[in-house]
Amino acid sequence: MANLRDIRRRIKSVKNTAQITKAMEMVAASKMRKAQQAAINGRDYAQLMNRVIVSLRDSVDPNSHPLLARREVKNELVLLFSTDKGLCGGLNTNLFREVLAFDSATTSFVSVGRKGTQFLTRMNRKIVADFPLRDHPTFLETKTISRFAIGNFLDGSVDKVTVLFPMFVNTLTQQAQAMPLLPITSLEEIGIPNEYGQMDGLDGGILFEPDASEVLDAILPAYVHFGVYQTLLGTRASEQSARMVAMKNATDNAKNLVKDLTLEYNKARQASITKEILEISTAQLALG
């Protein structure tokens, strides 16, 4: 049986760890609420943009804009959104498992988040750019990422751009998701509810001024910019949610471990007392 002093040290160490994980849980919970709200706030705007694009579908030729042009995929660019810090459960592990599904010979990566950069470097994957992941990202900051992706697609360096990120479902669920960004495929299937379809009372959908193709020139880059921004907000919400849950589990496990160690300590202490009583009784009998 373990020494009483060693058990006391372990109990103290686990209690200290539980205090740290509890503090991290509270911090993550505070950040999580703000990150979740920011991610949810942009959904209505994204749905409205999708609504406009739906109405453009029958008004223009799908090949009339370079961001819609499809070509044979010889080179692919993946925007990998990960976290800067660990201690967020299996969030990054599940994400990096999806990275391995891409062909290393034809795929290059843009890393957003330090953990993703470290993983890609270890796996000898081609990194063409990396960007920091800020606690409070702004739309202007994320446009740097989307402009880089658009530039590589338009100049022919890549034939397809994919976004790989931890999609925020709810506080307990985050799913690694790979979604195409360029060419824009939302004109064919965007998966939005019927109430966000064409406007009622207009057989031809929304009326555009000056014309639909000029509206496309303005809205498609904005669609890509906002898509990247919304992805980054979702990544932040997923990170803080996963960290809060992971730290809560760590705190609960630490408390259970303290209970087990306390029980072990009491047993060892009782055994020590019983042994001393037996030794005293035996010595007294020997003297008597």
pLDDT digits (tens, 9 = 90+) for 112-168: 989 999 999 999 999 999 888 777 888 888 899 999 999 999 988 899 999 999 988
Supply φ then ψ for residue 2, to 5 degrees.
-65, 150
Same domain, 53 and 151: yes
Tell me if 113 sits within 8 A of 96, measured CB to CB: no
Same domain, 234 and 264: no
More confident residue, 44 or 122: 122
* Residue corresponding to tokens 């506080």: 171
Is the pTM higher than 0.85? The answer reads: no
Does 21 have pLDDT greater than 60? yes
Q: Mean pLDDT across the stretch 43-67?
A: 72
Which of the 8 DSSP states describes residue 187? T
Q: Mean pLDDT across the stretch 42-68?
A: 73
Same domain, 156 and 167: yes
Same domain, 40 and 167: yes
User: How many domains are there within the chain?
Assistant: 2
Tell me if 226 sits within 8 A of 49, measured CB to CB: yes
Same domain, 30 and 103: yes
Under 8 Å CB-to-CB from 115, ≥6 apart: which residues? Answer: 82, 83, 84, 85, 86, 92
| Out of 58-72, 74-88, 259-273, least confident range | 58-72
Range of the domain at 128: 26-245
Under 8 Å CB-to-CB from 259, ≥6 apart: which residues? Answer: none
For the annotated catalytic residues, the residue numbers are 88
Same domain, 65 and 80: yes
Query: pLDDT value at position 175?
Result: 87
Which of the 8 DSSP states describes residue 199? P
Same domain, 53 and 160: yes
More confident residue, 195 or 81: 81
Query: Residue 37 — pLDDT band, cuts 50, 70, 90?
Result: confident
Report how far residue 49's alpha carbon sits from residue 55's, in angstroms, rounded to the nearest whole number. 10
Report how far residue 93's alpha carbon sits from residue 56's, in angstroms, rounded to the nearest whole number. 39
Same domain, 186 and 75: yes
Q: How many CB atoms lie within 10 A of CB 121?
A: 12
Q: How many CB atoms lie within 10 A of CB 166?
A: 27
Q: What is the mean pLDDT of the chain?
A: 82
Q: How far is CA 252 from CA 129, 170, 258, in A?
A: 40, 21, 10
Query: Residue 193 — pLDDT band, cuts 50, 70, 90?
Result: very low
